[in-house]
């Protein structure tokens, strides 16, 4: 380490600051990891999606590769197993990468391979969410809310700690990826997050 240019102490040129990790925080290392991984993928010929900065793709005649990054997890999919193995080897030469094999579970989504293709489900995610909300013994319904119903901020007791309600609604928003049929209900539940009551 060396003192930054313009801030050199002439009486003690070899002294530097000792950064305490708790004060420094954790924002810089993940950003640098993401930058290094992004640079590596771009150098291998991948292109980034403009709509999703965590998704990269490489397309050549007959081959397509996709690479999805979420924090420290990487999902690689494509139609050429040899190219996928080569990509994993290239990444292993630069990073500590562990190949977990065929996709089965990623970010709360279970992947099941069938003859027709890939079936995605959040059943495990929903079961855990119901357990967390203490609703795992409730009966299921076809329509979670009537389209004519309006959620009101009156007529009930305000929650002493609304953080659980907000957490569950946030988790439900993630669930709409595979369950778009609950989008209307989740939207309604999101509109009263500032003042949830027991009936909500």
Average pLDDT over residues 37-46: 92
Task: Say how many C-beta atoms besides its own lie within 10 A of residue 58's C-beta.
Answer: 17
Domain 21-101 has CATH 3.30.310: yes
**Residue spans per domain, the chain:** 21-101
In 3-state terms, what secondary structure has residue 119? strand
Percentage of residues in the chain with pLDDT exceeding 70? 92
Rounded to whole angstroms, how far apart are CA atoms 168 and 143?
18
Are the C-beta atoms of 166 and 113 separated by less than 8 Å? no
Residues in the chain, how many? 200
- Beta-carbon contacts of residue 9 (< 8 Å; ≥ 6 apart): 3, 15
Closest by CA to 118, choosing from 174, 79, 71, is 79
| C-beta of residue 16 within 8 angstroms of C-beta of residue 3 | yes
Give the C-alpha separation, 170 to 173, whole Å. 5
Residue whose token pair is 């050429």? 80
Residue range 91-138, pLDDT digits in tens: 999 888 888 888 888 888 889 989 998 888 888 999 999 999 888 898
pLDDT of residue 21: 55
């Amino acid at each position: 380490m060396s003192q930054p240019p313009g801030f050199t102490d002439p009486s003690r040129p070899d002294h530097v600051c000792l950064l305490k990790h708790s004060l420094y925080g954790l924002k810089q290392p993940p950003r640098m990891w993401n930058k290094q991984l992004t640079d590596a993928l771009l150098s291998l010929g991948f292109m980034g999606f403009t709509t999703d900065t965590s998704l990269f793709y490489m397309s050549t005649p007959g081959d397509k590769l996709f690479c999805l990054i979420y924090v420290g997890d990487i999902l690689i999919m494509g139609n050429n197993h040899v190219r996928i193995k080569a990509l994993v080897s290239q990444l292993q030469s630069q990073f500590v990468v562990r190949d977990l094999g065929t996709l089965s579970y990623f970010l709360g989504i279970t992947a099941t391979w069938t003859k027709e293709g890939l079936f995605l489900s959040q059943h495990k995610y929903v079961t855990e969410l119901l357990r967390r909300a203490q609703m795992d013994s409730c009966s299921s319904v076809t329509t979670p809310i009537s389209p004519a119903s309006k959620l009101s901020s009156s007529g009930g007791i305000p929650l002493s700690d609304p953080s659980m309600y907000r957490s569950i609604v946030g988790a439900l928003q993630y669930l709409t990826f595979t369950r778009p049929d609950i989008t209307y209900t989740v939207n309604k539940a999101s509109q009263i997050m500032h003042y949830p009551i027991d009936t909500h």
